[in-house]
Amino acid sequence: MLLRRLIMDNKERETLREHIVWLASQLEQERKQNQHTVVFLKRILDPEDLGHAVSNETRQLAYQLLIEHHHIERSSWQQHN
């Protein structure tokens, strides 16, 4: 009886697989959104692109957000390696 409880049946495996696939797709979606955000922030900082149309205060905020994103990404890498 104990051995039976330790062995997953096919339905449990399928459910776990579906969860893993869903989580991976959500992670990929989040990664792409983060990439788009970084590109936008860099465009705001570039005076040859969108930077000419925003105030210094807006550029400073964009810079701070970009730095925070970089620190979060770096700490994430360090936790996983």
Nearest to 28 by CA among 36, 39, 80, 13: 36
Q: What is the dihedral of CA 72, 29, 60, 49, to 10 degrees?
A: 140
Q: Look at residue 10 and give its three-state secondary structure.
A: helix
Two structure tokens written together for 45: 């900082």
Q: How many residues does the chain have?
A: 81
Residue 1 has a pLDDT of 47
φ/ψ of residue 73, rounded to 5: -65, -45
Residue 10 has a pLDDT of 80
pTM of this prediction exceeds 0.85? no
Residue 81 has a pLDDT of 62
Asked if residue 43 lies in contact with residue 64, where contact means CB atoms within 8 angstroms, the answer is no
- For the chain, list residues with pLDDT below 50: 1
